[in-house]
Amino acid sequence: MRWLQLYLRSRRVPVALTTATALVALAWALSLAYTDATTINARTASLVIMLAVVAAGSTLSGTDDALDRTAAVNWPLRRAGHLLLAAATITALLTLSTVTDARYEPFALVLRNITGLLGLTALGAALFGAALSWISPLTWTLVAVLPLMGPSTDLRMQVAGWLIQPAGTTAATVCAATLAVTGLLAYSLRGCPLRPASETGPDR
């Protein structure tokens, strides 16, 4: 299993997992300490999910671009698996809160936001590289959680603020699904752009 250890290390997965876990736990602890609500509101949950997804985005490229394109590995399948495991891990971290008095729920909203934001991050990685993949999810999330945004019957508002729309909102679900599928396909098939050799040296 040494190959797996090397793969995880080259993708900085342990650091990303630790960061995501700490962020999810911190937001949960603050909600438990300072609010009486049993459900963490959609704005807070969206921000936490975005931060966890951004942490996962840093793992979408390795330290050596040449190794990420070797013909000996089925990279499209491995990239797709990497994204799916990232989604499953973040979902599991948030789902653990359901046994406590402050929960990330409803599950449908949590899953929608995770898949949509992770797809957006993967799309950013495919277009601009993993180092810049955080820009799109951060920007869209900050727009969505603005006070002027909220649950709405207007289609444009439902799309712009899909992150905070109630679970079951068709436009929000379609938007998230489109981002998820587009990001998955783009990243799986294309990977990240090649970087200059000066940026891909071995870890020190």
Instruction: Give the list of residues 6+ apart from residue 67 with CB closer than 8 angstroms, or none.
Output: 10
Quote the pTM value.
0.88
C-alpha closest to that of 56 among 104, 17, 27: 17
| In a domain? residue 146 | yes
Average pLDDT for the chain: 86
In a domain, 69, yes or no: yes
Looking at the structure of the chain, the number of domains it has is 1
Asked if the structure places residue 199 within a domain, the reply is no
For residue 21, is pLDDT > 80? yes
Alpha carbons within 13 angstroms on the beta-carbon side of residue 180 total: 16
Evaluate if residue 94 carries a pLDDT over 60: yes
Domain presence at residue 71: yes
pLDDT tens digit sequence for 151-192: 888 899 999 999 999 988 999 999 999 999 999 999 999 888
Residue 201 located in a structural domain: no
User: What is the domain range of residue 141?
Assistant: 2-194
pLDDT at 136 over 80: yes
**106 assigned to some structural domain:** yes
What confidence category does residue 64 fall into, taking pLDDT thresholds of 50, 70 and 90?
low
Q: Is residue 135 pLDDT above 80, yes or no?
A: yes
Confirm whether 204 is domain-assigned: no
For a pLDDT cut of 90, what percent of the chain falls above it?
55
Residue 202 lies in a domain: no
